[in-house]
Amino acid sequence: MKGMLDFLEKAGLVTKDTPTLPPTPLADPAVSADLGLEPADAGLSAPASHAESIESTPDAAAPLQLDAIYAREGVPSAAYPAERLLRLIDGLSAMDESTRLMAINAMDAADESWTISDPLADAHAKAQALERHTERQLKAMQQSEHEASTRRSALSARRDKVVGDVRKQIAELEALMEREQSRAASEIAAQDASVQAARSQSSRELSAVAQVREKLRGLARQFGAPIESPQE
């Protein structure tokens, strides 16, 4: 067994870390560089590779904090976390599956600080935690969309009411304007007719007065008697 481990180490597929250190807590600051997960600091580990991290970063400005999710979901620290086993498998990717499995079992047997059940149990716990997190996120999103839809409906209803009231007021004002214009036109026409009637009446009266006056003056001329103007 030791010969196989030495062979893997010489091939650069694993490294033997000494001394063996206790598991790193899930919230260790060093974890943030590797998805909030314990580094390979005990037993044998595979060399780092391009697949060292499984953290997903949907937005560069807001990376997904898996360690925070696991802590919030109460996932306990593992003696050998699932991510460490994934890195190990990635480091042994050049091997065929049976050889890779044999090598991992050899590492498990050589290091009493962990067993293969540790990363498997950790993987199960974290998968369940992510599933619960996903369900909560979906529910929160649905609730947010429902609230937004409710607010949108309320805003639309208020807009329609205000617009309807304004249009009604405009229609009432336009009707009032039409009535006022019609009333004013009618009154102006009546006033003009009254003035014209008064002018005609006055003209007839003045004409009649002038005729009478001329007749009276004619008497004076006829009999040679002057007509004195009335004293003021």
Q: Which residues contact 199 (CB under 8 A, 6 or more apart)?
A: none
44 occurs within a structural domain: yes
177 occurs within a structural domain: no
136 occurs within a structural domain: yes
For 87, the domain range is 2-142
Per-residue pLDDT of the chain (232 residues; tens, 9 = 90+): 444 556 555 555 555 554 443 343 333 333 333 333 333 333 334 333 333 344 444 455 578 899 999 999 999 999 899 999 999 899 988 989 999 899 888 888 888 888 899 999 999 999 999 999 999 999 999 999 999 999 999 999 999 999 999 999 999 999 999 999 999 999 999 999 999 999 999 999 999 999 998 888 888 888 876 656 656 5
116 occurs within a structural domain: yes
Q: How many domains does the chain have?
A: 1
18 occurs within a structural domain: yes
Q: Identify the residue whose tokens are 């004002």.
A: 173
45 occurs within a structural domain: yes
Cα–Cα distance for residue pair 126/149, rounded to 1 Å: 34
Cα–Cα distance for residue pair 177/195, rounded to 1 Å: 27
Kindly write down the DSSP assignment for every residue of 101-126, as one continuous string: HHHHHHHHHH-TT--THHHHHHHHHH
